[in-house]
Amino acid sequence: MIREKTAHLLSFNTRKTLLKTSSKLYHKPKLERSKDGLSISAIDAAQPFDFEAKAKVVTDRKNALKIGIVGFGNFGQFVAKRIISKGHTVIATSRGDYSAVAADLGACFYPDIDDFCEEHPDIVILSTSILSTEKVLREFPFQRLRRNTLFCDVLSVKQFPKQLFLKLLPQNFDILCLHPMFGPDSGKGSWRDLPLVYEKVRVGEEKSRKNRCEQFLHLFEDEGCRMVEMSCEEHDRQAASSQFITHTVGRMLGTMELADTSISTKGFESLRSLVDNTYNDSFDLYYGLFMYNKNATIELSRLEQAFDEVKGQLFNRLHEIIRNEIFTEVDATQDMENSSLSNLQGASEDDKKKK
């Protein structure tokens, strides 16, 4: 009996507290003057009793992640903006001072990486250049982070950071390798149907750690990304024959300094767009795609062989045409010479008969 009264009292107090809190979220009722005097008219009489909406707000706040970004350049800012829009907290650190930029985005910037780590982010995103990744990791103060921090990268090559993470990160850190195959240009609007490749390299067995990883991936899925789970090794194999080749062709065309014309075709405009999306990237990025993907050398050789083969087909056809013309002229000349010789011989025989 006592338990029932206690439970009833707690239930009543809980509802009373929730009602009082939730009513603060909404507009005050309006006072309207009628013929009979003042009357109270609420905007929505049901709003103070919307327990589900209030509960969802509380739940979202509890589930919000604190995500740290190391390397706050263009891509780091690009990702941070979308993460913040989903209700998560973003802190950042970088070699340069991005305090003003971070403040505009709603993030907190820490020039000192030790101060950054002392904020104990749930997830750390490595958004550095490919060439500086190893140096950053070797100098990183991992001991200042929580012991079960989730570490991930967003590099364009995957096998290289995976090996570095397994080698340098503490054993109890979770590892997630990501490659959003889009950037500030191609993903400036919607992320719908844009591919995001990932591998859960190492995630602890605890439910909270699995949920954290899934919640982070859901952030991209919720934005419409096409989620592709793939090993880092397979990613690099496929990326060498797609991304690296795309950047190589784009750089070749950019070096040619193609100019727009008054009769440009759709195909030519596509090539100009390719140049804009690749040649404008830093050469360090392109070099990183080559240096840190062992499959890139093979693809570069295949591209060179393909170019030589196409060029060979052109010159072979040209040589064939030229040869035909040459030999046609030779044959015609020979025919003329034979005809002249035949005529001379005929004339000579006629002269003999007359004599």
Tens digits of residue pLDDT in 243-266: 999 999 999 999 999 888 999 999
Domains of the chain, earliest start first: 55-230 (3.40.50.720), 232-336 (1.10.3660)
Q: Model-level pTM greater than 0.95?
A: no
Report percent pLDDT > 70 for the chain.
75
pLDDT for the residue 354: 59
Tens digits of residue pLDDT in 42-71: 444 444 445 555 444 444 556 899 999 999
Q: How far apart are CA 164 and CA 58, in angstroms?
A: 38
- For 286, 300, 336, the CA distances from 146, given in Å and listed in that order, are 34, 43, 96
Structural tokens at position 90: 């973003």
- For 79, 85, 197, 227, 336, the CA distances from 224, given in Å and listed in that order, are 14, 14, 13, 9, 77
Structural tokens at position 211: 């949920």
Tens digits of residue pLDDT in 285-336: 999 999 999 999 999 999 999 999 999 999 999 888 887 887 776 666 666 6
pLDDT for the residue 333: 65
Write down the mean pLDDT value for the chain. Answer: 85
pLDDT for the residue 115: 98
Q: How confident is the model at residue 349 (pLDDT cuts 50, 70, 90)?
A: low
Helix (H, G, I), strand (E, B) or coil at 66: strand
Tens digits of residue pLDDT in 143-168: 999 999 999 999 999 999 999 999 99
Tens digits of residue pLDDT in 196-244: 999 999 999 999 999 999 999 999 999 999 999 999 999 999 999 999 9
Which residue type does 178 have?
L
CA-based nearest residue to 130, from 287, 303, 338: 287
3-state SS track over 229-245: ECCHHHHHHHHHHHHHH
pLDDT for the residue 320: 84
Structural tokens at position 347: 């004339």
pLDDT for the residue 63: 85
Main-chain dihedrals φ then ψ at residue 174, nearest 5 degrees: -85, 150
Which residue type does 288 have?
G
Name which of 13-17, 136-140, 168-172 the model is least confident about. Answer: 13-17
pLDDT for the residue 277: 84
Q: How far apart are CA 237 and CA 230, in angstroms?
A: 11
Tens digits of residue pLDDT in 191-203: 999 999 999 999 9
